[in-house]
Structure 1
Amino acid sequence: MIVITGATGALNGATVDHLLERVPASDIAVVARNIAKAQRFADCGVAVRRGDYADPSSLPAAFEGADQLLLVSSSDPAADAVSLHRNAIDAAITAGVGRILYTSHQGAALDTPFGPGRDHAATEQLLAESGIPWTSLRNGFYAHSLNWFTSSWRQTGVITVPADGPVSWTAREDAAEAAAVILASNGAYDGLTTLTAGAAPTFADIAAIASELSGETVGLVVMESEDWVAAQVATGQKEFMVRFLLGMYEAADQGFFAGVDPLLATLLGREPRTARDVLAQPAAH
């Protein structure tokens, strides 16, 4: 039995869809805080169970019988993600899960400026201490957020950032498909497993790509970090979230997202989507 949490979200929901192409629905169960949102999986013959990381008592039964358990990481910047993940791992131990797979992030490290990267590293330590075989899917930075990070360059002709560095922008859809392939392999991938696109462009590179796509020069402005924070707050952004984003840029500048790995392409049997694909997509609509 393969049990998947977070299946009502975009990442693990897509993983279930790809997994259904590879294994019978009767071999899959999904765990959701709101089981009504998982009705489409129930309609396919997938078992739907209620479970919530914030309600530890709900988890052992939700994970029961799992030969493999895919844990989605907490996506709430304000949450104590490591505590939530600890609840899930403890429940997996109680339930006798065969293997835990976890949606981590490239560049996970205790010393990264990027907050989620610290949470992922701490969670990987918990996995290593659990006594259960584990696989950490270190996905590249999700590429759909690139348009958000580059903001309104189509209107302004400028990308403004507080720091520049390489980022292996990786399509969430590709990461989801790769997770399904890994789950269907039944334990062929162990420990840290990096899944990234084939290149890690800097924001200067992104500006050059945007220039090519638009036919007009798109510039890059790198502001002092505190000036950038003040400018973002002045537009109505909450300072907590602005500083959360600042950590991403600083981590990129320090090289935490610079590495690339061919494994994703191998799992997909094709080249992963690129940052250029992402930037070009809105122009097609």
Structure 2
Amino acid sequence: MTTTHRRPARRRVRGHARRGAALVVALVTIAVLASVAAIASSRARQAASVVDNRRSQVTARAMAESGVLAARAHIESELRDVGPDSARVDGVFDALTASNRALVQDTIREGAFATAVVDVSARLDVNAAGAEGLQQLLATVAPPDEARRLAESMEARVRGEASGASLQNDAARLLRWQRDSLAATMLGREPTSRAMHPFTSLDELLTVPGMKAEWLDAIAADLTVDGDGRVNRRAASRRVLAAATGTLVDRPSRLLLISRGWRLGHVLTREIQAVFDVNGTELRLVRWREQDR
């Protein structure tokens, strides 16, 4: 009688089981490592993207600032070159604002800029025109009663008359205005604006109750928040001249330089708007605004 031994078969089964378990462990380990590698790669790409975007932001701002400096230097150089000749000075200003093209533009390594010039003294200053001037301009796009009401509301906001809670602050501002105006007079400069709560952008006019976007759009090219109350009659439109209540001059008293900078190959753009007083052959900074585009 022959005896059958099954122990080797059990060993083979156990050996297969161990190899199967090892294979599962290996597959799980590979899957985990692949997941870790994928996460690490994703984070590396995100970090690289953040660094690249930051680099683009820094480059765009540096280019925009370079555009302002280049345009300012160009204008001052042009004014110095023509000297005191009145006709030639007028020609310089006419050339600056006659074209819609950039005044200066350049590429520096991986960045670029383009800067345009706007004669803001050819527009009606919202903060200095007064209710009468604002009403005159608004009446060209809105019914007379609406134009009057809007003009009075805008003037009340500018003069600080809209909120009784701010009377103490307004009194302090009035004292500072009187002090600064006296100092300006003694130094032979233009008095500072008496606006208590000036508008800082044309978009703020939409907060005035009753103002319609279509009305503002129709007169936006004739309005500014960067003027000094003087109007350049040689460059102003007919309706600006009709509404002007301040001093009329024959040359720009203020210029707005709009400079945009960017990194080549990237869509992010930095815009700087710099307002300058024109003082002889010099431009003196009055206001500086920045925003991403």
TM band (smaller chain): under 0.3
Larger fraction in helix: 2
Structure scoring higher RCO (CA < 8 A, sep ≥ 6) equals: 2
Tell me the TM-score normalised to structure 1 length. 0.22
